[in-house]
């Protein structure tokens, strides 16, 4: 069994979660909710109501921070307390002159949009520099009465730009002038110097005996190899921790140790099992282990291996070369951390900052400047179309609350917190405060309590109190009818619409009890596969690995039409590319080369014809899957029509977990059950685990241990693919940690970067089409459905006339929450 075979087996009991809502697995988007105002009556003229507005929400994880929130429900909470710089309209267009306001027509009605900031974007082609200018309206107050100024904007930028920042916001992915220098505390020249020095010391090897003639100091050599050893051991410790945490000994006993188990499998046994699973040792007939590197024999009775033994075996196997280790192990690394890359980054930063040329360090980010008390300027090298939404779209956090005023002095390059230490901001993660329409009061008994912000720049909200209440999707409508919930977002399924109509006297989805609004969701549902756990051999990018995933994807895809029509009816449609149909970049059926997802066989020929019946399509899909399985290296018995053996690194069984509340209440549940039954006819098992605890998904995705899972993405106004598909987004690589597919493709990376550099929509759409086709070739994502967002209101408790008119994909009811009144 090779290393990747073992790693795949190590994930046997990992839970794969499917979510019932479109936004469930998406971390906080890089574009926070902007602030707008339409021409309906201003909030400050209305009578304040003390009856609370109760909003149904999903499960919170208490990261209520403008910096660290990473689920849509936590984002919704902190969003009530925060104010973003950028203002957009009902079609997602930017309102550049928001302080005075702009009047823009939509659907035959003129709406005036105002916001806290004016924004301008200017590109200097000769210098190849883009300048973003943010002008803040004077007199805006945070909820505690302190005025918002440019210093708060500067502070916010420096939190996101700090080298210790870990979160989903991708501000650092843009080429802000001086950002890399600040984060590494080195100039370009010094950075290059120590980057090359690291490579030279590494090439000399761990056994190199330092000499005075070497071009580096003995301390530098020691620092490098001590760092390598520590990071290497940490990676191996993660392997052991993973096995200990994920193997349930009451339900599953590792096969190689069946005869050794008495009452319990000890922690030492798990370490031993880790050795075998990662092929660092071989299992002998007497169930002892022999190290493949050192030859040490572990009898598993007296001689039990330790984590240090894991390291010694790996070290010996790879000849002490961490780069060789990582080249093989990166695909299945449990913590996903690049052993060499992580140490190199730290080495450059540490050594570079100690270089005499850097005696004063890099005190600031040269591309971020405070122009006056209300104006900030950001300069980037080059032009990237999505950058405006990240650079100008941040929520402005109060420096005096999330940082320390005593540590802020712009002129002295002090930015409100110690460099490399965000503990001040992290300490406020569960207690948000800002300039948004509401003030956070407390989170108690699964309810977030808010109170109206009397200092809100648009006027105090007319509803004094608001609550966000954790509510199961299936209980929202009943809660509205019972008076325990006033507002909620829900799937627009046939079942839900029938339930709503049943409560209303008119038999419609809007009536005397429940009022419903519907818009296309800015996002889409999908079924995902992890390239690092669903593969052949050790290369997730190989033709065989792609063929394996295409075999599974082909069968899943053919059952989408029936499943989603049954669940949603007219409230959703099947999509064939991994992008929301609301985006201008989404391929259309009339586009040249448009294809139904996974509708060609291993030879590239169409699987289906227009004359086929539904059953004939199902049969054709299975036959096409057999072709892909064969191409992947599976053994297929033509006589029995069954797969009989998997190639190295692959399996005959994979698991998908669906978050259907344990009762299959999920749009993709029928897809999985039908595909599972079809695959079983050829000897392939797709195990379905329907769980009720959606928090399991966060842990799985964070660990990168999932095989197949169902979820959904909440998209942003700009179709930038960087956060989700760029290789830096793979867990542990210092990026967004949102590339849950573990797709690592240099061509795809370049296409994503190229698309950012143009404001020509036609050009960008063509580039994105190539990128989407590459994602399809990797077969890590089966596009599922584009659904409608349905927001339901209590017609008996909420004044429906105060809900913002003309709700769109880009303009939800919370845009003007300050005007929503209770009856």
3-state secondary structure 370-429: EEECCEEEEEEECCCCCHHHHHCCCECCCHHHHCCHHHEEHHHCEECCCCCCCHHHHCCC
Give the count of beta carbons closer than 10 Å to the beta carbon of residue 662. Answer: 12
- Burial state string for 241-264 with b = 16 or more CB within 10 A and e = fewer than 16: bbbbebbebeeebbebbeebeeee
Question: Which tokens go with 335?
Answer: 């913590």
Dihedral angle at the C-alpha atoms of 469, 474, 478, 483, nearest 10 degrees? 10
Where on the phi/psi map is residue 279: left (φ > 0), alpha (ψ -120 to 50), or beta?
Answer: left
How far CA 719 is from CA of 722, 731, 738, 794, in Å, comes to: 9, 22, 15, 34
From the list 478, 231, 201, the residue with the least C-alpha distance to 351 is: 201
Ranges of beta strands (E only) in 681-761 are 685-690, 708-714
8 A C-beta contact, residue 392 and residue 85: yes
Q: How far, in Å, are 187, 423, 543, 549, 608 from residue 602 at the CA level? A: 51, 53, 11, 12, 13
54/475 Cα distance (integer angstroms): 14
| Spatial CB neighbours of 571, under 8 Å, sequence gap ≥ 6 | 491, 492, 493, 494, 497, 518, 787, 788, 790
Q: Which residues contact 318 (CB under 8 A, 6 or more apart)?
A: 324, 325, 328
CA dihedral 807, 812, 817, 821 (to 10 degrees): 40
Instruction: Tell me the whole-structure pTM to 2 decimals.
Output: 0.71
Q: Which tokens sit at 497?
A: 């619409």
Among all chains, which residue has been given the structure tokens 């998904």? 697
CA distance 569 to 785: 12
**Mean pLDDT in each 10-residue stretch from start to end of the chain (823 residues)?**
30 25 31 33 55 95 92 93 97 95 95 98 96 98 98 98 84 91 91 94 92 96 93 79 50 39 48 62 76 85 76 89 73 53 86 87 96 98 92 97 98 96 96 98 97 98 97 93 95 88 97 95 93 93 97 98 93 94 91 96 97 97 98 97 96 90 91 98 94 73 85 86 90 78 95 90 94 98 93 97 94 96 96
Beta strand pairing status for 685-690 and 653-658? parallel
H/E run at residue 197? helix 188-204
Are 474 and 498 a contacting pair, CB within 8 Å? no
Q: In terms of Cα–Cα distance, which of 811, 818, 819, 759 is closest to 34?
A: 811
> Read out DSSP for 639-693?
TTTEEEEPPTT--SEEEEEE-STTTT-STTHHHHHHHHHHHHTTT-EEEEEE-S-
Q: Which of 175, 180, 167 is CA-nearest to residue 30?
A: 167
Cα 88 vs. chain centroid, distance in angstroms?
23
Which tokens in the block code for residue 96? 């550049």
First to last CA, the chain: 68
Residue written as token pair 């300048």 = 131
């Amino acid at each position: 069994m090779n290393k990747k075979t073992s790693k795949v087996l190590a994930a046997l009991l990992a839970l794969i979660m499917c979510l019932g809502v479109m936004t469930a697995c998406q971390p906080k988007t890089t574009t926070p909710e902007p602030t707008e105002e339409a021409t309906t009556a201003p909030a400050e003229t209305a009578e304040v109501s003390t009856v609370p507005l109760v909003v149904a929400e999903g499960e919170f994880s208490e990261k209520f921070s403008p910096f660290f929130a990473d689920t849509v429900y936590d984002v919704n909470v902190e969003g009530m307390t925060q104010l973003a710089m950028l203002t957009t309209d009902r079609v997602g267009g930017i309102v550049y002159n928001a302080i005075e306001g702009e009047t823009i027509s939509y659907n035959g009605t003129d709406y005036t949009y105002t916001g806290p900031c004016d924004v301008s974007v200017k590109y200097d082609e000769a210098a190849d520099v883009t300048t973003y200018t943010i002008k803040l309206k004077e007199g805006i107050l945070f909820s505690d009465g302190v005025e918002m100024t440019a210093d708060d904007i500067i502070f916010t930028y420096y939190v996101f730009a700090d080298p210790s920042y870990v979160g989903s916001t991708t501000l650092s992915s843009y080429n802000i002038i001086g950002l890399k220098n600040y984060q590494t505390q080195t100039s370009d020249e010094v950075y290059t110097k120590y980057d090359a020095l690291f490579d030279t010391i590494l090439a000399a090897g761990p056994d190199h005996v330092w000499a005075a003639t070497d071009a580096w100091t003995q301390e530098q050599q020691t620092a490098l190899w001590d760092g390598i050893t520590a990071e290497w051991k940490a990676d191996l410790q993660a392997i052991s921790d993973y096995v200990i945490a994920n193997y349930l000994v009451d339900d599953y006993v590792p096969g190689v140790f069946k005869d050794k188990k008495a009452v319990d499998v000890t922690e030492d046994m798990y370490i031993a099992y880790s050795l075998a699973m990662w092929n660092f040792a071989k299992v002998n007939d007497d169930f002892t282990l022999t190290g493949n590197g050192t030859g040490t024999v572990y009898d598993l009775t007296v001689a039990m291996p330790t984590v240090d033994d894991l390291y010694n075996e790996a070290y010996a196997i790879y000849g002490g070369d961490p780069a060789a280790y990582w080249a093989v192990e990166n695909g299945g690394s449990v913590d996903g951390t690049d052993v060499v890359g992580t140490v190199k980054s730290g080495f450059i930063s540490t050594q570079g900052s100690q270089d005499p040329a850097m005696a004063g360090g890099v005190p600031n980010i040269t591309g971020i400047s405070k122009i006056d008390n209300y104006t900030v300027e950001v300069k980037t090298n080059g032009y990237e179309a999505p950058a405006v939404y990240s650079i100008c779209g941040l929520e402005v956090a109060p420096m005096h609350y999330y940082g320390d005023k005593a540590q802020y002095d712009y002129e002295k390059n002090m930015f409100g917190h110690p460099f490399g230490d965000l503990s001040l901001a992290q300490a406020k993660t569960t207690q948000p405060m800002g300039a948004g329409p509401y003030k956070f009061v407390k989170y108690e008994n699964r309810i977030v309590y808010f109170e109206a912000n009397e200092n809100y720049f648009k006027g105090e909200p007319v509803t004094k109190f608001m609550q966000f209440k954790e509510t199961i999707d299936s209980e929202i409508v009943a809660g509205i009818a019972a008076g325990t919930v006033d507002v909620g977002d829900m799937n627009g399924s046939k079942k839900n619409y029938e339930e709503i109509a049943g409560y209303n006297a008119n038999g419609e989805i809007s009536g005397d009890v429940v009022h419903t609004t519907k818009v296309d969701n800015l996002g889409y549902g999908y079924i995902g596969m992890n390239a690092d756990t669903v593969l052949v051999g050790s290369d997730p990018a190989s033709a065989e690995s792609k063929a394996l995933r295409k075999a599974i994807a082909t069968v899943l895809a053919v059952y989408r039409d029936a499943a989603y029509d049954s669940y949603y009816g007219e409230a959703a449609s099947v999509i064939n590319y991994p992008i929301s149909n609301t985006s201008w970049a989404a391929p259309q059926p009339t586009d040249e080369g448009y294809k139904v997802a996974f509708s060609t066989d291993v030879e590239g020929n169409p699987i289906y014809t227009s004359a086929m019946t539904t059953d004939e399509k199902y049969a054709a899909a299975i036959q096409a899957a057999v072709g892909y399985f064969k191409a992947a290296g599976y053994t297929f018995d033509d006589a029995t029509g069954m797969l009989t053996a998997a190639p190295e690194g692959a399996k005959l069984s994979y698991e998908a977990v669906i978050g259907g509340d344990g009762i299959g209440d999920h749009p993709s549940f029928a897809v999985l059950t039908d595909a599972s039954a079809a695959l079983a006819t050829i000897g392939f098992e797709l195990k379905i685990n329907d769980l009720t605890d959606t928090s399991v998904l966060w842990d799985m995705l964070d660990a990168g241990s999932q095989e197949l899972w169902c979820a959904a993405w909440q998209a942003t106004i700009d179709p930038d693919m960087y956060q989700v598909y760029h290789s830096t987004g793979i867990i542990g690589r210092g990026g967004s940690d949102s590339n849950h597919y573990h797709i690592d493709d240099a061509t795809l990376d370049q296409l994503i970067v190229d698309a950012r550099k143009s404001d020509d929509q036609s050009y960008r759409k063509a580039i994105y089409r190539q990128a989407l086709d590459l994602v399809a070739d990797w077969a890590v994502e089966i596009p599922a459905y584009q659904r409608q967002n349905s927001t339901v209101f209590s017609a008996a408790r909420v004044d429906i006339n105060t809900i913002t008119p003309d709700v769109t994909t880009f303009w939800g009811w919370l845009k003007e929450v300050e005007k929503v009144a209770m009856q």
